[in-house]
Amino acid sequence: MSSMSSYIPPELTDQIIDHLHNDSKSLNACALTSRDWLPSTRYHRFRSIRFHSTKKISALHQLSQVAPDLLPYYQEAVICDSSGYVSTSILEAAASACLTLPNLTHIKFNNRIYASTPRVVTILSPIVSKITTLNLSGTLFASSNDFWPLICSFPNLNTVQACGVTFGSTEETAFSPVNTYEPPITTFSVSTSRQGFVIDHLIDSSFPLRFLKNFEILYIDPNQTTLAPLAESIRETVKQLRFSAVSIHRADDQRMPDFISRLTNLETLIMDKIYVLCPGDGPMESLSWIPQVLRGVTASIRKLSIELMIKNIDHLGSMDWSQVDHILTNQESLQWLTEVSVTVMSTSAIRGTIDTEALKAFIAQRLPMTSQRGILRCTVGKS
C-alpha cells in the first residue's frame, strides 16, 4: 500500500486527510498506511492537547522523553477540568508543560478558573510571548474590569475569542499588570450574555484596535449592546463582519443597519442564523429585516453570505417560500450574494435518514435564483 502513495499527488492526500481531522480512528489508519502520510496525520492527531489533570500533564512529560519529535506538532493547549473549575495547581502545571511545546500559539480556557486574574497573568507570564490566539470559553472574571488587562498581558495576540464570559462584579477597579502591551489584534469574536461589558472595553480601552480587520458578534441583543460607539471605534479598520442570531422583533429596527453603515472599509458581510419563521411562530421579523441591513451598507462589499435557519423540517411545506425568494431576488445589494446556506433543524432520531441532496433540490425549486447561480448550500442540524 505504501508504494501506491507515490502515484497520488501529495496535495490530494493532504486534502483527504484534512477532511478526516475529527476522525481519530481514520487518522490512525492513515498514519499506518504510508510513511509519506505521517506528517499530515500527525498534524491533526497532535495539533491540540487538553490539560485537564496532573496525570495528563505527566503523560506529556513522558512523551517528551520517548518521542520528542512529536512536540513540535502541538499548536493549541486547552486548559480545562471536568469539575468545571481549573485549579491553580493545574494552571501552574499546564503553563510549565506549555514551555516544552516549541510551536504552541493557541491557549483555550474551557472552564472557570479558581485563581484571580492577576494570579493567572503571573502564572502565564513565561509563555505569553508565544501566544497569538486566546480563547476564553465559559471563563469567569472576578470583575468586568479584569477582562482587558488580561488581553493586554499578551504582547503578540492577534485573535481573541470570548464565548460565555461572565463577571463576578462590575464595580471593582481593574488590576494593573506589570507588563502591559498593545497586542496587534486582527480578529475579535464575542458571544456571551454579558457582551455589553466586553464591547464596552473595546470602546473604552486604553488604546484603539488599530489592527482589527475581522469582527464577529454572535447572538447579539441590540438592547444590551451599545453599537454606535463601537462602530466609531472600528469603522475604518474592519473588513469582515459576521453577526449571528440577532434579536430583532421589528423589521424597521435601525440599530444594526446604522451600525453596518458606519463601517466604511467593509468587504465581507456574513449574516448567520437568520430565522425563517412559520405563521404563528412569534413576532420576530429577522428575515424581513435583511433588506434594512443591506440598504444600510455603504462600503464596497465583495462577498455576502446569508444563513437561513428553519426550526423544524416538518415545516418545510408550510413555509412562505415566495417571501423568502422575494427578499433574496429583489434587492439591488444582493448582487454581492456569494452564498445562501439553509440549515434545517431536525431531531437526532431522523437526522441521519434525511437525503441532503433531495432537500437541496426541494429548496432550489423554491429559491431558483440560488440554484441558477450555484450558491445554495443545505445542511441538516440538530434541533
Please tell me the distance from the alpha carbon of residue 87 to that of residue 125, in angstroms, as a whole number.
17
Q: Is 166 left (phi over 0), alpha (psi -120 to 50) or beta?
A: beta
**357, pLDDT greater than 90:** no
Let me know: does 57 contact 51? Beta carbons within 8 Å: yes
Is the pLDDT score of 155 beyond 50?
A: yes
CA distance 182 to 142: 23
359 vs 193, residue with greater confidence: 359
318 pLDDT exceeds 60? yes
Mean pLDDT, rounded, for 183-198: 83
Per cent of the chain over pLDDT 70 is: 78
pLDDT of residue 251: 63
Three-class SS of residue 357?
helix
H or E, element range at 159:
strand 159-163
Joined together, the cell numbers standing for residue 212 give 482589527
Entry pTM: 0.82
Average pLDDT of the segment spanning 335-339: 83
Q: Which of 359, 238, 248, 357 is nearest to 299 (CA)?
A: 238
* Closest to 238 measured CA to CA, from 207, 259, 219, 222: 259
Using pLDDT thresholds of 50, 70 and 90, give the confidence band for residue 345: confident
Q: Give pLDDT, residue 35.
A: 72
pLDDT: is 196 or 91 the higher one? 91
Q: Is the pLDDT at 169 greater than 90, yes or no? A: no
- Residues ≥6 apart with Cβ < 8 Å to 262: 228, 231, 232, 235
pLDDT at 5: 45
208-248 confidence digits (pLDDT tens): 678 899 999 887 777 666 788 888 888 889 999 998 877 66
Residue 160: closest CA among 99, 231, 211:
211
Contacts of 360 (CB under 8 A, 6+ apart): 376, 377, 378
Question: What pLDDT, on a 0 to 100 scale, did the predictor assign at position 85?
Answer: 79
pLDDT tens, 84-141?
Answer: 778 888 899 999 999 999 999 999 998 777 778 888 889 999 999 999 999 998 887 7
Query: Is residue 32 pLDDT above 70, yes or no?
Result: no
pLDDT surpasses 60 at 22: yes
> What pLDDT score does 1 carry?
43
Residue 281's pLDDT is 59
Q: Tell whether the model's pLDDT for residue 170 goes beyond 80.
A: no
Average pLDDT, the chain: 80
**What is the three-class DSSP state of 135?**
strand
Grid cell, residue 228, equals: 454606535
As a whole-number percent, the residues of the chain with pLDDT over 90 amount to 20
